[in-house]
Amino acid sequence: MNSQFRRALRYMWRIPLLVWHAAVDLPITILLMAEPWGEMTIGGVRLGHRAVRWWSRTLMRIYGLEVRAKGAQLPDPVLFVANHVSWTDIVVLHSTRMMGFVAKREIAGWPLVGWMAKKGQTIFHQRGSQESLGDVLLQMVERLREGHSVGAFPEGGTRDGRELGPFHARLFYASVEANVAVQPVALCYGAGGDAQTIVAFARRESFAQNFWRLLGEPARTVDVIYLAPILPGEADGRRRIAELARERIDTALHGS
């Protein structure tokens, strides 16, 4: 059985599941997120948050991605920072923990993912706009001070999956100003990260093309590794916090 035939078979059963997830599961998720049900707690976790995690985990299962959360997660409020591989990153993280993300404004228009990002308390940023970044940082500080966690990708964008880019220190202003911990998170696709380049956007590949291509990929795991946090006062300034966060993620991904 050749690879193209196997891919066609995956599309045959995954496409109906994806349609069901969008047409049936999504309205159920909306209902569970709405008041008053969304504010109800089960086991100390809001029902609305559980609904987002369930919807996100199910979407990743349709794509053949088994999400495995590892490490101890700090309680709210926390600034979570992760390496950025593809559009799946937000969904993968949401399947393990509810957090409002900082993401590029284009994501708001993406099918399924964009809608859930809006409902998931995402703060949208217009890349290249210093005015937008300033507003984003203020919103991050406000969210953290209110007791909510925020997730961000300090690389500023996706890469080809081969290496970890530099972390922008300005993003960590929010954790310093709100006096909260930063917890680095390593996203590792496939065994030992061997699928990072597969999940990542190919050169000139659009969201729609990546969305469709990944739907036909073989099943694999994705490890969400919550690493040792950087506590308030542990590092001197946001630049050092950025360096420590990058070092810990890089070590978890490459063992260096």
Domain ranges of the chain: 67-254
pTM above 0.85, yes or no: yes
Percent of the chain clearing pLDDT 90 (strictly above): 62
Q: Which two tokens stand for residue 143?
A: 């969210």
For position 147, what pLDDT does the model report? 93
List CB contacts of 173: < 8 A, sequence separation 6 or more. 137, 141, 238
pLDDT tens-digit readout, 50-62: 998 999 999 999 9
Looking at residues 221-233, what average pLDDT do you find?
96
For position 132, what pLDDT does the model report? 62
Q: Rounded to an integer, what distance in angstroms lies between the CA atom of residue 81 and that of residue 133?
A: 16
Q: Is the pLDDT of residue 215 over 90?
A: yes
Q: Rounded to an integer, what distance in angstroms lies between the CA atom of residue 135 and that of residue 124?
A: 10
Low-confidence winner among 5-14, 85-94, 130-139, 183-192 (lowest mean pLDDT): 130-139
Low-confidence winner among 32-46, 56-70, 80-94, 208-222 (lowest mean pLDDT): 32-46
Dihedrals phi, psi of 45, to nearest 5 degrees: -120, 135
For position 219, what pLDDT does the model report? 97
Q: Which two tokens stand for residue 217?
A: 């990929």
The sign of the CA dihedral 125, 121, 208, 197 is positive
Q: Rounded to an integer, what distance in angstroms lies between the CA atom of residue 62 and that of residue 215?
A: 8
Q: How confident is the model at residue 119 (pLDDT cuts 50, 70, 90)?
A: low
DSSP assignment of 135-153 equals HHHHHHHHHHHTT--EEE-
pLDDT tens-digit readout, 179-189: 999 999 999 99
Q: How confident is the model at residue 112 (pLDDT cuts 50, 70, 90)?
A: low
* Nearest CA-CA partner of 79 in 149, 23, 29: 149
Q: Is the pLDDT of residue 233 over 90?
A: no
Q: Rounded to an integer, what distance in angstroms lies between the CA atom of residue 133 and that of residue 123?
A: 10
The single residue listed with the structure tokens 């420590």 is 244
